[in-house]
Amino acid sequence: MKVAVVGVTGLVGQVMLKVLEERDFPVSELIPVASAKSVGKQVQFKGKSYSVIGMQDAVDREVDLALFSAGGSVSTEWAPKFAETGTYVVDNSSAWRMDPTKKLIVPEVNASQLTVEDKIIANPNCSTIQMVVALGPLHETYGIKRLVISTYQSFTGTGVKAVKQYTCERDGIDNEDPNAYPHQIFENCLPHCDVFFENGYTKEEMKLVHETRKILGDDAMKITATAVRVPVDGGHSESVNVELAKSFEMADVMNILRNGDGIVVQDDISNNEYPMPFYSKNLDPVFVGRIRRDESIENGLNMWIVADNLRKGAATNAIQISEYLVKANILRQKTLA
């Protein structure tokens, strides 16, 4: 099938190419797409070189699948144009996530919601994805009343601009481009992910609130979050305090997590084994550890959740959605027609 990667020259776009190749997704024709300034550049896929084309050219080719990672404004303008030709769009921006007419999908949790009519599918925020993979089976078994979330998010989640800022600060050289952050990120932590809202929370923090409720299907779930940008090159970490609706035994919780789809439990404190972003880099699972009862409240649980934000937090999740569309014979509909 014809697959377009929109925003192919960006960090996530490049990882999408790697993941498509690694997972042997059925690409008969790759259509690399980017902004006008990148048209004509070369990208590599499966040992071949491809020329980047513009948005309208890609729409005109009536591709089967378009993987978007080019920002909200681009998605708002162009995703419907692709969808009008029959293309299935999996969008990595925030443009469609809270649209009530669009599905917000983490395959391990709610892929079964997808139908032939879902031409534009939203890929959640990176920090939300890894968390709900771990929380999904617990919510299904016990129900979740409240979440208190603290994130420790890699600067790579901000994109190329942030990577350059960090590199320049680390190497002690002047950055010719505007910085991504209002403060130094090298050897620093910024309790500031995205813009601030009037309520004092950042956009990233409110994404965790609203997206989690939508994916888990519970608008009454109480959630609060603090999102922190850290000088880690790849991989988001999260400290999540969970108040469950039902009582639980720790052995049952551990068993549920160990058998959870997409989860790797790393929890052996006697041998200092717990998830760390350094070891999650370039891997697809969600790693969970430091799993312990919160002794300060009834039915409380603490856990530490880590994943590669460019893979499971973005590219891999989008391609897993696409794989489900193929498996469910949804993505084939246009091709067979």
Please tell me which residue in 126, 168, 189, 192 is annotated as part of the active site.
Answer: 126
Residue 296 is encoded by which pair of tokens? 């300060």
- The verdict on whether 139 is a catalytic residue reads no
Distance between CA atoms of residues 134 and 272, nearest Å? 21
Listed residue (188, 217, 223) closest to 205, CA to CA: 223
CA dihedral over 210, 216, 219, 224, signed as positive or negative: negative
DSSP 52: -
Listed residue (58, 75, 78, 42) closest to 2, CA to CA: 58
Question: Could you tell me the CA-to-CA distances from 186 to 162, 175, 256, 307 in Å, in that order?
Answer: 10, 13, 38, 21
122, 209 contact by CB (below 8 A): no
Distance between CA atoms of residues 261 and 284, nearest Å? 12
How, if at all, do strands 222-230 and 286-294 pair?
unpaired
According to DSSP, the residues that pair with 264 across neighbouring strands are: 287
- The verdict on whether 236 is a catalytic residue reads yes
* List of long-range contacts for 251-257, beta carbons under 8 Å, 24+ apart: 252/141, 253/138, 253/291, 253/301, 254/291, 256/137, 256/138, 256/141, 257/134, 257/137, 257/138, 257/288, 257/291
Active-site annotation, residues = 126, 236
